[in-house]
Amino acid sequence: GQQLNQSPQSMFIQEGEDVSMNCTSSSIFNTWLWYKQDPGEGPVLLIALYKAGELTSNGRLTAQFGITRKDSFLNISASIPSDVGIYFCAGQQLDSSYKLIFGSGTRLLVRP
Amino acid sequence: GAVVSQHPSWVICKSGTSVKIECRSLDFQATTMFWYRQFPKQSLMLMATSNEGSKATYEQGVEKDKFLINHASLTLSTLTVTSAHPEDSSFYICSASATLAKNIQYFGAGTRLSVL
């Protein structure tokens, strides 16, 4: 079945540093999504990407939908302690089920 | 963003009992609702897809008689874990999407189930 490879698995950075994480797939997607999950909570939508090549920002977050439609990256600039959490990419399938395929997650820790 | 409410947030039950989890879309009518299960330090695993007024579609390996899903209205879906056992202990999360909102899934806060 379809799989998403998300990297890195974890990151431990200094406050103020920029962060980059990415997802690649063996299949193409119509939509790429990035979510953040805090411990004991459900994922919260950060950015949604709908077109190949699209670059979208949400505050300090920037994400891009790869031209091949098989990859996406998320950048966080000037990280702050509240950025701590697990970030998941998700690709939405092409069929009418609208199911999401999730990456394995990137655990981000920020040192104050 | 769209608001999805999930209740209860955590539940402890005895082995053999059944537990019902509710998922509500508060400010939109959800065309489809999804149920996920998440083990510690792992990603979300889709259990089933639920459309209002029709039977849920279960993922391979998910027992439909074990995990009963009812989607009676455009704003409410329920997941019932029947005859729960300790191995059913997990974090269950629902999401809701709407065709008018580009079918983006918005998630509830999750339900932590502990079966003793």
Q: A40 and B112: CB-CB below 8 Å?
A: yes
The rounded mean pLDDT for chain A is: 94
Q: Which residue of B has its CA nearest to A49?
A: B104
Write down the residue that tokens 């537990």 correspond to. B19
Per-residue pLDDT, A19: 97
Cα separation of B90 and B80, whole Å? 14
Q: Which residues of chain A are within 8 Å of residue B111 when distances are taken between CB atoms?
A: none
Q: Which of A41, A45, A103 sits opposite B110 (nearest CB)?
A: A41
pLDDT of amino acid A1: 54
Q: Do B43 and A104 touch (CB under 8 A)?
A: yes
Residue A94 has pLDDT above 80, yes or no: no
Range in B73-77, B89-93, B106-110 with the lowest mean pLDDT: B73-77
Cα separations (Å) of B98 from A46, A49, A52, B27, B95? Answer: 18, 17, 22, 11, 11
| B43/A103 Cβ within 8 A | yes
At residue A2, the pLDDT reads 62
Amino acid B1: pLDDT: 67
CB within 8 Å of A82: residues ≥ 6 apart: none
Q: What is the pLDDT of residues A29-73, one digit of tens each?
A: 989 999 999 999 999 999 999 999 999 999 999 999 999 999 999
**pLDDT averaged over chain B?**
93
- Where residue A10 falls among pLDDT bands split at 50, 70, 90? very high
Q: What is the pLDDT of residue B60?
A: 94
Kindly list the residues from chain B whose CB atom is less than 8 angstroms away from the CB atom of residue A46: none
Nearest to B77 by CA among B21, B27, B37, B28: B21
Does B7 lie at the interface with A, CB-CB under 8 angstroms?
no
User: Angle at CA A100, nearest 5°, toward A96 and A104?
Assistant: 160
- Where does the pLDDT of residue B102 fall: very low under 50, low under 70, confident under 90, or very high at 90 and above? confident
Q: How far apart are CA B14 and CA B87, in angstroms?
A: 12
For residue B101, the chain A residues in CB contact (below 8 A) are none
Confidence of residue A13 (pLDDT cuts 50, 70, 90): very high
Q: pLDDT above 90 covers what percent of chain A?
A: 86
Structure tokens at A11: 């990151």
Q: Is the pLDDT of residue A14 over 60?
A: yes
Q: Do B57 and A97 touch (CB under 8 A)?
A: yes
- The DSSP string of B41-77 is TS-EEEEEEEETTSPPEEPTT--TTTEEEEEEETTEE
Q: Is A88 on the interface with B (CB under 8 A)?
A: yes
pLDDT tens-digit map of B1-56:
689 999 999 999 999 999 999 999 999 999 899 999 999 989 999 999 998 888 89
